[in-house]
Structure formats: C-alpha cells, structure tokens
Amino acid sequence: MERNNLYPIFLKTKNLKVLIVGGGFVAEEKLTFLLKSSPDANVTMVSPMFREGTKTLAKTGNVKIIQKKYSKRFLKGKHIVVATTDIPAINQKVYKHCRKRSILVNVADNPPFCDFYMGGIVTKGNVKVAISTNGKSPTTAKRLRQFFEEVIPENIDDLVKNLNEYRKTIKGNFEEKVEKLNEFTKSLVEKK
C-alpha cells in the first residue's frame, strides 16, 4: 500500500520571504489561502499582468506586486517560491532556478516539480489542522477540510488556553508533565 511520506511543518511566514510567480487565477487562489492561514505572510508576486482581485487582495496583507516578467533575480533572498503561470516552460525554469539555490518550490498542479504541497487547512483560534493527500487529490483535501471545520468545536481555543494554564502549574520534569497532561486529557479521545 502506498503511503504519504511528507513531513508536515507549520511555517512562520512572517519571518520568511515568499515569492509567487504568476498573476492569474491560480496565483490569486494561492495568495488567498496563504493570507487566510497566515495574514502576516511576507509575499512578493511577479507577473506581467495581475487580476484585479489579486491587486485588491494584496492590499489586505504584506504583499508586494511587481508587474514584470519572471527573471531569476527575483529569487534573491526568497525562502519559498510558488510558480503558477499557465506556461509550463516558465514554471519549469522557476523550478530549476530554485533547485540550484536550495529554495523550496511548488509548481502548481505539477507534483513532480514540487518540494511541498499546499494542503487543506482548518484554523480555530490556536488550533490548526493541515490535510495532505500527497498531491493526489486536492478535492479530497478540500472535503476533509470542510468536515473538520464542522466537527471541531468553535470553543476549542478555550480548551487550549485552559490546558496551557494548567500546564504551567504542573510540577516535575518534562516527562512527568507530559504524563500528567496525557492523563488529564485522556477523556477527550476515549470512545464511549
């Protein structure tokens, strides 16, 4: 049976420099989901043209728009790049330039040219759940996201905050604290 070998991480995009190459619908979609999850993301977009919706959305965040053709000089200082153009040769050029510079890259809808995937994300206060289908089915990730948005209670953040306060009161070493927290929260996952 095939398995998902991706390693999930949560990035502080405020501290990273993200480049989106492209200005069409897919670029706007990627920017929308990035800003929804990380409103303080540090983003630059480069493209000869941009949708009006993208320009409007860019004003809501820390997004710089450069209306020019892609050149490898735009990679300078970037940590993550998302290529979204409708010209495969440009996307592959972006991929090759990024690989030479050890920059993480995602070429939209082209899994062989991706170091990472942008999965479905559910956020409720301090709780964030990321969903991956290993690049095989974004639609499944979307449906799972919708499911978890309904199932995870709105007040989950209260639980997180209360457990954080309780954690501060526990005495002992790290292992003892983990054991006490596990015992205290066991009822949350027990089946009745």
Q: What is the 3-state secondary structure (H, E, C) of the chain?
A: CCCCCCCCCCCCCCCCEEEEECCCHHHHHHHHHHHHHCCCCEEEEECCCCCHHHHHHHCCCEEEEECCCCCHHHHCCCCEEEECCCCHHHHHHHHHHHHHCCCEEEECCCHHHECCCCCEEEEECCEEEEECCCCCCHHHHHHHHHHHHHHCCCCHHHHHHHHHHHHHHCCCCHHHHHHHHHHHHHHHCCCC
pLDDT in the model for residue 18: 98
Task: Work out the number of other CB atoms within 10 angstroms of the CB of residue 111.
Answer: 11
pLDDT in the model for residue 82: 98
pLDDT in the model for residue 174: 85
Task: Kindly give the confidence (pLDDT) of every residue in the chain, 192 residues in length, as a single tens digit, with 9 standing for 90 and above.
Answer: 888 888 889 999 999 999 999 999 999 999 999 999 999 999 999 999 999 999 999 999 999 999 999 999 999 999 999 999 999 999 999 999 999 999 999 999 898 999 998 888 898 888 999 998 887 888 898 899 999 999 998 888 888 888 888 888 888 888 888 888 888 887 777 766
The CA distances from residue 53 to 79, 88, 144, 159, in Å, are: 25, 23, 27, 37
* Residue appearing with tokens 């990472």: 116
* CA atoms of 16 and 37, how far apart (whole Å): 14
Q: Pairing mode, if any, of strands 17-21 and 42-46?
A: parallel
- Cα–Cα–Cα angle for 91, 136, 112, rounded to 5 degrees: 35
Burial class (CB in 10 A: 0-12, 13-18, 19+), 102: exposed
172 contacts: CB under 8 Å, gap ≥ 6: 180
pTM for the full predicted model = 0.86
Q: Pairing mode, if any, of strands 127-131 and 120-124?
A: antiparallel
